A and B are shown apart, each in its own frame.
Chain A
């Protein structure tokens, strides 16, 4: 173990890796602070820059963008009432009133402190639980993985949309697109139509960029110019240690909520932030101050929001199943570097896992340094006009799309998927289930067919032990809960 740890330290403590992690946090915070840019878009656009890097360096750069982006979303939530990420929408509730009361600096400070503490706790949970879960998952064979992926797809498709059928349509389209290329068992062509470049299947990065960046760019041209968000000045004093201590209970509780919810595939930061916020208000001696600029409200929502950042990596690293759309992108990054997250990663590349753990812990410190030193800069970044920003992003997309395989064909794929993504955006069909299904699709089909080959065609193999039955039961439970929630929502909306 000591030997592996030494190798991991040597991997992380290089100028290139430290710089990449720091740059990732900085870039992520900037992206998160720009209204209209999403964390997923940021991670997707950064991915092509990691091709030439060592896997640890590249993945830590992406993780830095992810963590910085989650925090950066709170800056615009506080200053211009426009959350940079969906998860930061809860921060608006008390952050913006604090800005209006001339306490913007205090709100940004406490958001940063809560984010860093929650991020640190979440990272610890990743280190403590991922290895344990991975050792359990070593017992998994094709049928167990098949049922696990079915469970993951159900929960993700169900949660990511107000309309479950639309979420499932999105997942279905992603699964279908993943079948393009050579058949895994027989080696025959599927949907290739004589195009040699399609034989290896559609590349992940053009699909990713097409789905998450291009639709936003095209959608920009459907909007009226110059919405002109009014930015609050960075007035008021800093948050004091006494104020931080008063919020600490809510921060730790919010972090714990984030850790638990983040480890469940498909939940994400927004429900965690709202649950943390409502718990802080419920237990507060002054609940009437929440929503009017209560500093504890900002701390609780940011803790809940950032508490998921490390724990969403637990199912990814231990089982190879992404917990949300950003970790689906990071799964793609692993694959690009020839690595496969899951239990075998802990056996075959333990130095890499340790390296990631060390880097992830460092990211909390970098988040604090970046946030503390650059709040004034980020508050200005949010004013960059989208008329200039989106053409720059477009050029970045084209370079990134090309760099994967050095082929212009990938840019065509990116444009076509971008148009599909734009159609989905306009039709309120969520893109997240599409991407997750596209990433998991080959695994789902491969494990399904391998299981059938093992059993000689008998479907009994999918119920062969307690693990399979547990995942089927969880799938049934998640479908039941989603349907029940939709029923309750429908009944409560009837006047």
Chain B
């Protein structure tokens, strides 16, 4: 219950802050206004402004509802007595952060290495991070899946897949 309340408070506050950023920064500086607008409702910034206020209202509503629930909820917070979970390797937070960081690394190496090589490495990294250690299963999958997808998109769907370091071999 307490965790839900904290979660909802963060959500409500984040939406309020985002709505303020939309109204005070993104709309004034991110929407180009034409020289003359006959009707304000036809203006390019009308719709984003309405949505900014709508999000501000909804974020405020979630925050208000949560504070009201918190006020009514008088039960004491339960102390966590559960035994620590068995986490092989990294804990959940570092593991999640590592997964997010790996996503950006994957994106960064797509251009120099090409989609196939980057995907082989990404599959190995993500599978190892998940905790799978059976190389006999991991290695063939990591090679066959990106190559299979490359063959489908390149040969069947006629989508030019960037092959990067394999340019000479496959290009």
Contact = CB atoms under 8 A, between A and B. Distances in A.
Interface of A: 49, 51-52, 163, 165-166, 168-169, 172-173, 175-176, 179, 183, 185-186, 188-193, 214, 217-218, 220-225, 385-388, 390-392, 394-396, 398-399, 402-403, 406, 408, 411-412, 415, 418-419, 426-429, 445, 448-449, 452-453, 457
Given A51-B157, A169-B58, A392 B145 contact: yes
Contact of B132 (A188, A192, A387, A398): A387
B163 interface: no
A388 B141 contact: yes
A415 B103 contact: yes
Interface in B119-171: 119, 122-123, 126-127, 129-132, 137-138, 141-142, 145-146, 149-150, 152-153, 156-162
Tell me if B's interface is mostly helix, strand, loop or mixed.
Answer: helix
B21 to A, nearest CB: 11
Contacts of A391: 122-123, 126-127, 130, 142
B26 A457 contact: no
A13 B161 CA distance: 31
A406 B160 contact: yes
B85 A224 contact: yes
Given A175-B51, A457-B41, A392 B123 contact: yes
Given A166-B62, A169-B55, A452-B42, A395 B34 contact: no
Contacts of B99: 217-218, 221
A391 B123 CA distance: 5
B61 interface: yes
A83 to B, nearest CB: 23
A431 B38 CA distance: 37
Nearest to B125: A391
Nearest to A457: B39
A218 B119 CA distance: 17
A395 B132 contact: no
A273 B149 CA distance: 37
B30 interface: yes
Contacts of A163: 8, 62, 65
A220 B130 contact: yes
B156 to A, nearest CB: 7
B96 A222 contact: yes
B48 A403 contact: no
Contact of B88 (A191, A225, A386, A426): A225
B32 to A, nearest CB: 4
Nearest to B150: A399
Contact of A411 (B34, B51, B107, B130): B107
A52 B32 contact: no
B54 A172 contact: yes
A392 B26 CA distance: 37
Contacts of A183: 31-32, 44
B149 A185 contact: no
In the complex, the 4 A-B pairs of residues with the closest C-beta atoms, listed nearest first: A387-B130, A391-B126, A183-B44, A188-B32
